[in-house]
Amino acid sequence: MLSGILIATLVVGGTGLFIGVFLGIAGKKFAVVVDEREEAILDVLPGNNCGGCGYAGCSGLASAIVKGDAPVNACPVGGARVAKQVADIMGEDAGESKHMVAFVHCAGSKDVTNREYEYYGLHDCMIVNMMQNSGPKTCNYGCLGDGNCVSACPFDAIHVENGVAIVDKDACKACSKCVAACPRHLISLVPYDHKHLIRCNNEEKGKEVQAACKVGCIGCKMCQRQCKFDAISMQGNLAVMDLEKCTDCGACALKCPRKVILQG
């Protein structure tokens, strides 16, 4: 009886020893060598794992930077400060980093837009956009106001106020989550310091726009004629601004009869 227990103990112990030695050898043989720069970059990245850089979290971005697949200034949340730190680790120049923020191309709050009916279903922009006439608002291009962008933002930087989404510029980290969440593609990233932006996305003719919203672009081309830098063009009946050409002089905003152009 005692010898049986002893044999069993030796077998179990021997098996455990063999497995331990095998795992130790395998661990060394198949170990993945991590570049020290990758760990250093991961330490300086914000750690939000928001995906705004286009990679699966901060670790994915750190790996891509070390491999040369992503630039040192790829993190929109960290901005210029983090870009400089990452560049120092990589021994590169950080280059110029613009402070970007999200902007909602709609000013159609409840007190300036008309409604065709009252909606009492789920408050989800994707669902509402599929309802009759693309939702209760007469304007089929404007903000639905049901907050998908709010839910998508990991920084509490966007809120629905009086039926339209508003961005808190100082809280926004330009992660693009809200951009992807909007079913009407109303949100884009713009330079933080840019003061004149067009707050409309309606491409219908002026008569239809006036019937739907008191502040929508009516395609009068007044802003286009006023601009000396060829920064405004017409997309159908909608004025669109080329921010690369715009000097932020504000001449277009002063002449706009509908006050569509934001003056920050």
Is the domain of 202 the same as that of 224?
yes
Domain that holds residue 67: 36-90
* Within-domain flag for 3: no
Is 123 within a domain?
Answer: yes
Same domain, 250 and 178: no
What CATH number is given to the structural domain containing 231?
3.30.70.20
Confidence of residue 7 (pLDDT cuts 50, 70, 90): low
Which tens digit of pLDDT belongs to each residue from 178-218?
999 999 999 999 999 999 999 999 999 999 999 999 999 99
pLDDT beyond 90 at 52: no
Condensed to tens digits (0 to 9), the pLDDT of residues 153-165 reads 999 999 999 999 9
Task: Assess whether 222 and 248 both reside in one domain.
Answer: yes
Would 23 be classed as within a structural domain?
A: no
For the residues 78-95, what does the mean pLDDT come to?
88
Does residue 41 fall inside a structural domain?
yes
pLDDT given at position 202: 96
- The confidence band for 78, taking pLDDT boundaries of 50, 70 and 90, is confident
Q: Are residues 199 and 187 in the same domain?
A: no
Among the residue ranges 39-53, 110-124, 125-139, the one predicted with the least confidence is: 39-53
- Total of domains in the chain: 3
With respect to residue 214, please indicate whether it lies within any of the assigned structural domains.
Answer: yes
Last residue of a domain, one of 147, 171, 193: 193
Is residue 147 located within the same domain as residue 112? yes
Same-domain pairing of 120 and 166 = yes
135 and 166 in a common domain: yes
Domain match, 57 and 77 both: yes
Looking from the CA of 81 toward its CB, the CA atoms found within 13 Å total 5
Does residue 19 lie in a domain region?
Answer: no
Note the pTM of the prediction, 2 decimals. Answer: 0.79
Q: What's the mean pLDDT when you consider all of the chain?
A: 88
On whether residue 110 sits in a domain, the answer given is yes
Whether 11 maps to a domain, the answer reads no
Residues 60 and 121 in one domain: no
Give the residue-averaged pLDDT of 86-109. Answer: 90
Whole-number pLDDT of residue 6: 60
